Copies of this chain bind each other. A is one copy, B any other.
Amino acid sequence: MASSLADYTRQRDELISLDRALRADHKREPLSPVEALADKVIRDVRAAEASSIWSAEYPSIPHPFPGMEFLTGRSIIVQTKLFEILSKMPKGALLHAHLDATVNVPVLFDLALKQPAIHVRSPTVLNASNLKSTLPQFEALPQHTTTNVVSLTDAKYEPDTWVPMKQAREIFDPQLGGPEGFDRWVTGALTIDPSEAYGTHNTVTKIWQKFLSTFRVSNPIIRYVPIFKEYVREFLLSSIADGISYVEPRVNFVYKSIIAADGTHLPHRELLLIFDQVLNEIKAEMKRQGREDQFIGARIIYSTVRFITPEELNWYLEDCIALKKEFPHLIAAFDLVGDENVLHPLIYYAEPLLRFREMQKEAGVDEIPFIFHAGETLGDGTEADNNLYDAILLGTKRIGHGFSLIKHPKLIEICKEREITLEVCPISNEVLRLTSSMHMHPLPSLLNRGVHVALCSDDPAAFGSMGLTFDFFQVLAASEVTGIIQLGEMAKDSIKYSTLEPSEKDRALQSWNKRWEEFLRYAVSVGEEFLKAKN
């Protein structure tokens, strides 16, 4: 034991350094002066707000604290200086987001409303008591004609008959709020609200039921080609606006077609043609604006759902290879999605998955890596937890979530050796009840072990957490160890561990570095001004 206090303090500093030696923000080259200053200023802003805005009383928020339940804390978050600063941060790449939940709900709603083909129906006449529990069903029906339009709220409404969305909205019963009541009904069906996540559906099992229902409602709207085009455009532009310079969305191909403007069913390649077209338009726009360095592009992780059989999986693997042949620049990887706690485990698909590489070689396409969801669970030794073994044995390039990875010392070792990056989705994990607040999230434990992590938004439309700023905020707010430097390292890793070609990666990293310097100067100036005004 130490013989003097000075001796003790020195031993203590050494021990803390040793304990944090594997962190990305400790392993890297020394901080530049502006980095060091920005790190300090942002820590000071965080501390100042912890004892001011987060310590105030709010009538509707029983216990505000930094890193608290997102859906309840959101209204405070957006008022903070920390959020304002982070919204300007260059975020790198978005590596884990399901395309179906990446456009802000009011925007999607407006896109739908503008299309006369979009119809809505209800399995029952809507009234005050069943409104909240009844889901709207949408469908693009360009050929459909309605002669006698009856409101979904009218006693004469015949359940399950289609009504044009615009009219359904206009004639929605004023007792149920009229058009705004309709908006609330649809919006409620497309998003998770705090009373659900933290009240009625406060377990992983229950909240997933609500969560999945949002996709059932939105899916028929998004898959309608005239909307899909605008949808992709909005996803890319809003990502760019949030400081994201490259995206790798998972696109769910389990439905074998999309719906054309005339109502005909089109195969998957048409979806990719549209995606490619929108992508090129945006790249051209960015170039015209002299902002081409702010957007490197987008590639798709081909996904299907874990409720199919291994035989059915073969069709998707072949489909994926065929699309890779036609769109080698767009198809980035392959994944199987869905609630791991209830659907089939990866090992159920081991045989076809083990053949996939061989199939690619035979088809003569470039390698399509696996980027599997795995360990998005609270289970200890359950099938969902064990998916981590299979994801790694099957050679996954990254791991989607890996929430339960912290339990597995050997797998963490392997992830580090093979540079298997974790796509960590902080707000998703919290809203979907894997963690009660950011303070129970395993992220700090993973960062302290040197696991590579990219922060991701997963399904921001369902959570109301558009972009990546909210996720970065929650991580920064809930720790005294993690600062802006660690966030920067994660942003860099998101580019480094994307599926971009080496030359594109270099370009993306160079551009990120330039923007990072600008951001740090901005953060110092805004932060210092804020702190001065506080004192």
How many monomers of this protein are in the complex? 2
Instruction: State how many angstroms separate the Cβ of A322 from the closest Cβ of chain B.
Output: 22
Residues of B within 8 A of A378 (CB): 437, 439-440
Task: Report whether B448 and A393 are in contact in the complex, using a CB–CB cutoff of 8 Å.
Answer: no
Partner of A380 from B351, B382, B480 at Cβ < 8 Å: B480
Q: Does A18 contact B (CB under 8 A)?
A: yes
A19-B410, A409-B19, A440-B436 are known contacts. Are A481 and B395 too (CB-CB below 8 A)?
A: no
Complex Cα distance, B154 from A91, in Å, reads 65
Task: Report whether B445 and A395 are in contact in the complex, using a CB–CB cutoff of 8 Å.
Answer: no
Among A21, A200, A351, A440, chain B packs the most CB atoms within 10 A around the CB of A440
Instruction: State how many angstroms separate the Cβ of A311 from the closest Cβ of chain B.
Output: 15
In chain A, positions 405-419 with a C-beta closer than 8 Å to chain B are 406-411
A394-B1, A406-B445 are known contacts. Are A440 and B440 too (CB-CB below 8 A)?
A: yes
Task: Report whether A15 and B393 are in contact in the complex, using a CB–CB cutoff of 8 Å.
Answer: yes
A380-B444, A389-B19, A445-B445 are known contacts. Are A12 and B354 too (CB-CB below 8 A)?
A: no
Interface string of A486-528 (1 = CB under 8 A from B): 0000000000000000000000000000000000000000000
A63-B202, A354-B5 are known contacts. Are A12 and B390 too (CB-CB below 8 A)?
A: yes
Q: Does A343 contact B (CB under 8 A)?
A: no
Interface string of A4-19 (1 = CB under 8 A from B): 1100100110011011
Residues of B within 8 A of A482 (CB): 380
Interface string of A387-399 (1 = CB under 8 A from B): 0011011110000
Task: Report whether B347 and A448 are in contact in the complex, using a CB–CB cutoff of 8 Å.
Answer: no
Residues of B within 8 A of A22 (CB): 409
A203-B63, A407-B448 are known contacts. Are A16 and B481 too (CB-CB below 8 A)?
A: no
Q: Could you list which residues of chain A lie within 8 angstroms of chain B, going by C-beta atoms?
A: 1-5, 8, 11-12, 15-16, 18-19, 21-22, 62-63, 65, 200, 202-203, 205-206, 347, 350-351, 354, 357, 378-382, 385-386, 389-390, 392-395, 406-411, 434-437, 439-440, 442, 444-445, 448-449, 478-482
